[in-house]
Amino acid sequence: MTAAEQRPALPDGLRDRVLAASLRARAAGRPAPAAPQIAPEEAFSRAADAFYGMLGVLAEADWGRPALRGLDVQGLVGHLTGVEEDVHRCLAGDPRVARASHVESTQAAADRQAGRPAAQTRAEWRSAADRTLDLVRAAGDADARVAVHGMRLRLGMLLVIRAFELWIHENDIRQAVGLPPSVPDPSTLSLMTQAAAQLLPHAAAVQDLREPVSVHLVLTGPGGGTWDIPMGHGGPAAASASASVGIVADAVEFCRLVANRAAPEGLDLHITGDRDRAATVLAAASTLALD
Amino acid sequence: MPAATLLAPRSRVTDVTGEPDSIGSCLVAEGRSSVHEVGVGDSDALLAARLAAGDPLALAEVFDRLAPVVYNGALRVLGHDAAAQDVVQDVFVELWSHPGRYDPDAGSLRAYLSMQARHRAVDLVRSEMRRVARQERNSRLEPGQPDPSAYEQVMASEAAAAVRAAVEKLPESQRRIVELAYFKGLTCREAAKAAGIPEGTAKSRLRLALAKLETVLDRQLLESS
């Protein structure tokens, strides 16, 4: 520390004045530069286009490569077709998909791809994704509540989660066939990080994280942001009175963690606060994914 | 079976539409092979990334660490507490509003903020010089006003103590042209005529004088930081 830094020479009130003026210029939590805002429907559309584009560069032999948990690439694409078909039923008001299993209810769609030409599988998935977009546009209300695969949520949130899933499976396939990983554009990624932050308390609840904790989550890089998230029992008041945990992570890496494609130990995380609680929160975050 | 969506399916349907509330928090420390302590010792790159992510704790951390450097540097140049505080505010609001303008690969955050403070402080001095020169021109249009010359005002100003010292160190020929051009408000041609030298020479001397002034003022700020 230099002499200048040791000098306690700052006038009274200067710190408060400067910090307040700064936060008036840009509110806390908002990234700079901010990614252009897009609608959830647009995020899904972009993710679908990216997924479809990736499928287009696969060689015929790539479709038979193991991709994820016993499914080859073609079967994984079939799984996604099945997910779209359940979303269609959801948007049509079919109550049975509300409690349907994300995996079991899509298994038939995955299985029926066996022996098909890859082009047929690709075209079927594209048609299903386009149908999803048509139904969403027809519904016209991103705030409408829908229920599918054990979740009841706003349609807009469902579309962000669907974009998330498409990106994750796109990268599953990329990894399976030796293509470099992809990263969503900042606007799409921003919706994903917002969704992940919003869902963290639910992940904590699912994991029965009882002890109140306040999580200061900072996700860096394009699409990032800062959130203060109360978790555990007792609500925000209890969380604010409890010890806090700070987590700083790259936005893309955190999304991979949330999707269970990366372990906390493998990430360049910067953690503050109670170590055990931080580990619990991160473990809860990774359970937001199904597989 | 493969599937990667958010939220595992449950026997019940989970409502996930709640909005998180905002609450405050503070940062402490921990260590693990891939987990780093946030706070004292944060790299400038990490601080910059946190600032860009809108982390107000990072802003407070940078302020606590580097505001004394900015403030004392500005005070050294300006000689005026209120003006130095304004420089501190300008520098930090700018950093928070446009964190991407700081490039960690180009240098330290300390050096960047010192540079910003120097530019702001020198801009303030220049602005003050222009203001006083304008005042002088206006006063000359009002006969009978016994005001001291603008040069005298500036030289007597506490806020321009550094400028005074720097101008006084200039060679006589350059100091004369600065006085004519800036403090008496003459055009370069008028100043040349008043000094009895060609206009090109006047321009040359003025350029040299301003370059020296900037160097002296910059050095003073750098030394203070």
Question: pLDDT digits over B73-93, tens only?
Answer: 998 888 888 999 999 999 999
Higher pLDDT, A234 or A3: A234
Residue A16 pLDDT class (50, 70, 90 cuts):
very high
Inter-chain touch B1–A69, beta carbons under 8 Å: yes
Q: What is the mean pLDDT of residues B94-120?
A: 94
Output the six-digit token pair for A207: 């994991």
Handedness of CA A80, A81, A86, A87 (dihedral sign): positive
Per CB-CB distance under 8 Å, the chain B contacts of A172 are 2, 4
Which pLDDT belongs to residue A279?
85
Residues sharing a CB contact under 8 Å with residue A36, sequence separation 6 or more, in sequence order? A186, A187
Per CB-CB distance under 8 Å, the chain B contacts of A31 are 52-54
Which pLDDT belongs to residue B9?
31
Percentage, residues of chain A above pLDDT 70: 93
**Is pLDDT above 80 for B131?**
no
Cα B162 from Cα B128, distance rounded (Å): 12
Q: Which residue among A7, A10, A29 sits closest to B54, beta carbon to beta carbon? A: A29
Which pLDDT belongs to residue A246?
92
A19-33, A96-110, B9-23: range with lowest mean pLDDT:
B9-23
Which pLDDT belongs to residue B173?
82
Inter-chain touch A275–B63, beta carbons under 8 Å: no
Nearest to B178 by CA among B160, B149, B158, B203: B203
Which pLDDT belongs to residue A209?
77
Q: Is any Cβ of chain B less than 8 angstroms from the Cβ of A168? A: yes
**Is pLDDT above 50 for A13?**
yes
Inter-chain touch A228–B59, beta carbons under 8 Å: no
Structural domains of chain B, ranges and CATH numbers in brackets: 41-145 (1.10.1740.10)
Instruction: Compute φ and ψ for A275, nearest 5 degrees.
Output: -65, -45
Query: Which residue type occupies A15?
Result: R
Residue A49 pLDDT class (50, 70, 90 cuts):
very high
Q: What is the mean pLDDT of residues A251-256?
A: 94
Higher pLDDT, A213 or B15: A213
Query: Which residue type occupies B102?
Result: Y
Which pLDDT belongs to residue A265?
84
Q: Is any Cβ of chain B less than 8 angstroms from the Cβ of A25? A: yes
Which pLDDT belongs to residue A266?
84
Per CB-CB distance under 8 Å, the chain B contacts of A238 are none
Q: What is the mean pLDDT of residues B112-138?
A: 82
Percentage, residues of chain B above pLDDT 70: 61
Each as own residue / partner, the long-range contacts of residues A91-96 (CB below 8 Å, 24 or more positions apart, any chain) are A91/A132, A91/A135, A91/A136, A91/A139, A91/A146, A91/A155, A92/A135, A95/A147
Per CB-CB distance under 8 Å, the chain B contacts of A101 are 9
Which pLDDT belongs to residue B160?
57
Which pLDDT belongs to residue B224?
47
**Is pLDDT above 70 for B144?**
no
Residue A176 pLDDT class (50, 70, 90 cuts):
very high
A–B interface: beta-carbon pairs under 8 A: 308
- The number of residues making up chain B comes to 225
Inter-chain touch B56–A19, beta carbons under 8 Å: yes
Residue A121 pLDDT class (50, 70, 90 cuts):
very high
A residues 185..224 contacting B (CB < 8 A): 195-203, 206, 214-216, 218-221, 224
Residue B23 pLDDT class (50, 70, 90 cuts):
very low
Which pLDDT belongs to residue B28?
21
**Is pLDDT above 70 for A20?**
yes
Per CB-CB distance under 8 Å, the chain A contacts of B33 are 265
Minimal Cα–Cα distance from B10 to chain A, Å? 6
Which pLDDT belongs to residue A290?
58
Residues sharing a CB contact under 8 Å with residue B123, sequence separation 6 or more, in sequence order? none
Distances (CA, A) of A253 to A116, A169, A220, B64: 35, 15, 10, 30
Per CB-CB distance under 8 Å, the chain A contacts of B87 are none
Which pLDDT belongs to residue A159?
95
Q: Which residue among A103, A196, A266 sits closest to B3, beta carbon to beta carbon? A: A103
**Is pLDDT above 80 for A200?**
yes
Cα A11 from Cα A25, distance rounded (Å): 22
Which pLDDT belongs to residue B35?
47
- Enumerate the β-bridge partners of residue A71: A68
Cα B34 from Cα A159, distance rounded (Å): 33
Cα B49 from Cα B122, distance rounded (Å): 29
Structural domains of chain A, ranges and CATH numbers in brackets: 40-179 (1.20.120.450), 187-286 (3.30.1050)
Model pLDDT for residues B148-190, shown as the tens digit of each residue: 555 555 544 544 566 667 777 788 888 888 778 766 767 778 8
Residues sharing a CB contact under 8 Å with residue A38, sequence separation 6 or more, in sequence order? A46, A187, A188, A191
State the average pLDDT for chain A.
Answer: 89
**Is pLDDT above 60 for A219?**
yes
Start-to-end CA span in chain A (Å): 49
Nearest to A222 by CA among A188, A266, A195: A188
Q: Which residue among A32, A150, A261 sits closest to B7, beta carbon to beta carbon? A: A150
Interface test with B, best of A101, A104, A218 (most B CBs within 10 A): A218
Output the six-digit token pair for A288: 């937001």
Q: Is any Cβ of chain B less than 8 angstroms from the Cβ of A234? A: no
Q: Is any Cβ of chain B less than 8 angstroms from the Cβ of A96? A: no
**Is pLDDT above 60 for A3?**
no
Per CB-CB distance under 8 Å, the chain A contacts of B12 are 99, 150
Q: Which residue among A21, A287, A291 sits closest to B93, beta carbon to beta carbon? A: A21
Model pLDDT for residues A131-162, shown as the tens digit of each residue: 999 999 998 888 889 888 888 889 999 999 99
Nearest to A216 by CA among B162, B49, B22: B22
State the average pLDDT for chain B.
Answer: 72
**Is pLDDT above 70 for A256?**
yes
Cα B136 from Cα A91, distance rounded (Å): 76
Per CB-CB distance under 8 Å, the chain A contacts of B52 are 31-33, 220, 224
Model pLDDT for residues A80-117, shown as the tens digit of each residue: 999 999 999 999 989 899 988 888 899 999 999 998 99
Q: Which residue among B20, B72, B224 sits closest to A230, beta carbon to beta carbon? A: B20
Q: What is the mean pLDDT of residues B124-145?
A: 69
Q: What is the mean pLDDT of residues A212-222?
A: 92
Residue A287 pLDDT class (50, 70, 90 cuts):
confident
Start-to-end CA span in chain B (Å): 61
Which pLDDT belongs to residue A233?
73
Which residue in chain B has the smallest CA separation from A21? Answer: B93
Q: What is the mean pLDDT of residues A38-61?
A: 96
Which pLDDT belongs to residue A173?
97
Which pLDDT belongs to residue A275?
80
Query: What global pTM score does this model have?
Result: 0.76
